[in-house]
Amino acid sequence: MTFQHSTLMIDIMKEKKKSDIIPDQRTGKAIDAKSTIELLEADAARTFFSEVKDRLREVNRWKEYAGTISASFQLVDENGNEVQRKAEKGDYLKIDIPGPGSQSGEGYDWVKIEEVENTVSRDSERFGFRVRPTENPQSMGDDVAHFYSNQSTSSFIIERNGSRITASVHDRNTKPNTDANTPADKIRDVVVGAAGVATFSKIQWQNLTDGLLKQDSGT
């Protein structure tokens, strides 16, 4: 038997930092989503943690884990090529959100994996990576192609402590992108960015953390 619960916390300014890849909160909003599962034995937790780690790195399958109402994600390498493999530092995430896309992103929003964390001790493990809004690597432009500003970050983390596994997402310094080069993108980014801060991001990330920890029937 396993037990699972989910929690959602917004604007927690004084939250104890759980990982070095989570930046300090200085501006905009903070959004945190977390899901936890408790297994009966540490050995089973170690095995399942390895599976969850693979799921987190399988960016192209995030919509499958998060459900049909979520955005779609495509992993893109540093040369702008779509790839079918696990995520690595320096990769880009090409994001197709419900609603209008950006002109600079050619219809998509873009983030880059700028930091990866991987720590292991006797009774605990942690893996995660941080992304930041960035330019579209498939074009020649240098405009940030995302509805959030490039001060914003998202950190995706999975942890195992004994037989307990936690999946979490931590948005920091989150605010709409007001520096788009075109009037259409500026309006779009402000509108979509405000909606993201208000509702979309928290629902998206909660669905993802829940999905990452979902066990197959009969497990």
Sheet arrangement for strand 153-161? 3-10, 29-38, 164-174, 153-161, 124-133, 109-120, 92-96, 72-76
Considering the domain boundaries, does residue 218 fall inside one?
no
Q: How far apart are CA 194 and CA 192, in angstroms?
A: 5
Task: Please indicate, yes or no, if residue 100 is contained in any of the structural domains.
Answer: yes
Cα separation, 39 vs 37, in Å, equals 7
Neighbour count for residue 79 (Cβ, 10 Å): 9
Q: Which CATH number goes with the domain that contains 55?
A: 3.30.530
Residue 217 lies in a domain: no
Residue 219: inside a domain: no
Q: For the chain, which ranges sit under pLDDT 50? A: 1, 3, 5-17, 187, 217-219
Domain boundaries, position 198: 3-212
Q: How far apart are CA 30 and CA 13, in angstroms?
A: 7
Q: Which two tokens stand for residue 86?
A: 């696990």
Distance (Å, rounded) from C-alpha 162 to C-alpha 210? 20
Whole-number pLDDT of residue 10: 40
- The domain total for the chain is 1
* Residue 217: per-residue pLDDT: 40
